[in-house]
Amino acid sequence: MAEKLWDVVIIGGGPAGYSAALYCVRAGYSTLVVEMLSAGGQMATTSAIENYPGFVESVDGFELAMTMQQQAEKFGSETLYAQVTSAQLEGPVKTLETTEGPVTARSVILATGADPRPLGLANEDALRGRGVSYCATCDGGFYKGKTVAVVGGGNSAAEDALTLSKLCEKVYLIHRRDTLSATRSYLKPLDKAQNIEFLWNKQVTGLTADKKLSGLTLTDTVTGEESALEVDGVFVAIGRVPNTWLVKDQVALDRQGYIQADETTRTSLPGVFAIGDVRQKPLRQVVTAVSDGAVASKFVEEYLNGLD
């Protein structure tokens, strides 16, 4: 990889990344996707996507990811399975250090997505996979017939609570306010589910565990009163943290830490573009991620034409 100067290197093989790869390679540019694990990013952890146009029945996120990768590679896009450890993004030649050696490119598209936000509790990391989860679709099956809690008040928390209510005996939905910010379409099904109980104005301030989680400490956000809740698992759904550590000192970020890039996907650095969940935008969905990928190719082309 070291000797080749790629026209476009895309960091991240989620739907945004492979959409950009498809469009760039079809525009005639040598295109490499650098992906750490396997295609799909967060999308690959969703078993049933119901709002991606073109599928009357829901589509499996992992399968859709594989198809997107195959489609881009059919036209000549390549994938390097590696972690990018550092990036030098200034100037006409960008250099990425990866666990598989250096990669050089004339333009770089950042498609690194966003990870679930943790609660920030001391033993949280140690209990990942032992009662603490960030993906109901992935891990819900382990809690069949059990008692779980979902933390959060947005669409993810609402969706997770509904998913888990079909598997678990009891689901507590814990929110630090007294109303959900989830869209209205979730509210009726949540109210109808017999086994979902809302715990309003509560913050999770402790995780009780021996080898695995057995309960939560809750603190009332109005009165400050503490209480204990016995659960077999907790699903944290309190938003996302954009993956920008690689580039945060080189490109401008917004106040929430997302990469500043408007609808052109151009960042503050010439020849560097940001697409998908890592970019500032009003709606983070598969459909907006793939749209970003297509748009980026147009501005990559404009940039590369300017260099020639």
Q: Which positions ≥6 away from 306 have C-beta within 8 Å?
A: none
Query: Which member of 60, 115, 125, 138 is catalytic?
Result: 138
Amino acid at 226: E
By CB under 6 A, residue 153 contacts ligand NAP:
yes
Give the binding range for ligand NAP (CB under 6 A) out of 11-19, 68-76, 232-240, 250-258.
232-240
User: In degrees to the nearest 10, what's the CA dihedral of 160, 161, 162, 165?
Assistant: 120
Q: Measure CA of the first residue to CA of the last residue in the chain; give whole Å.
A: 22
Residue window 45-84: x/- pattern of binding to ligand NAP, with contact defined by CB under 6 A: ------x---------------------------------
24 has catalytic annotation: no
What is the DSSP secondary structure assignment for residue 174, as one 8-state letter? E
The residue within the footprint of ligand NAP, chosen from 239, 250, 280, 288 (CB under 6 A), is 239
By CB under 6 A, residue 256 contacts ligand NAP:
no
Write 258-263 long-range contacts (CB < 8 A, 24+). 258/114, 259/110, 263/295
By CB under 6 A, residue 98 contacts ligand NAP:
no
The residue within the footprint of ligand NAP, chosen from 74, 128, 177, 248 (CB under 6 A), is 177
Query: Which member of 24, 115, 125, 135 is catalytic?
Result: 135
292 has catalytic annotation: no
Nearer to ligand NAP, 82 or 193 (CB): 193
With tokens 């939905």, the residue in question is 173
What is the DSSP secondary structure assignment for residue 105, as one 8-state letter? E
Token pair in block for residue 54: 């073109």
210 has catalytic annotation: no
User: In degrees to the nearest 10, what's the CA dihedral of 199, 200, 203, 209?
Assistant: 0
Nearer to ligand NAP, 149 or 151 (CB): 151
Residue whose beta carbon is closest to ligand NAP: 154
CB 278 within 8 A of CB 111: yes
Query: Which member of 7, 139, 160, 232 is catalytic?
Result: 139
Annotated active-site positions, please? 135, 138-139
Report the interface residues with ligand NAP, using CB under 6 A. 51, 151-157, 159, 176-177, 181, 203, 237-240, 283-284
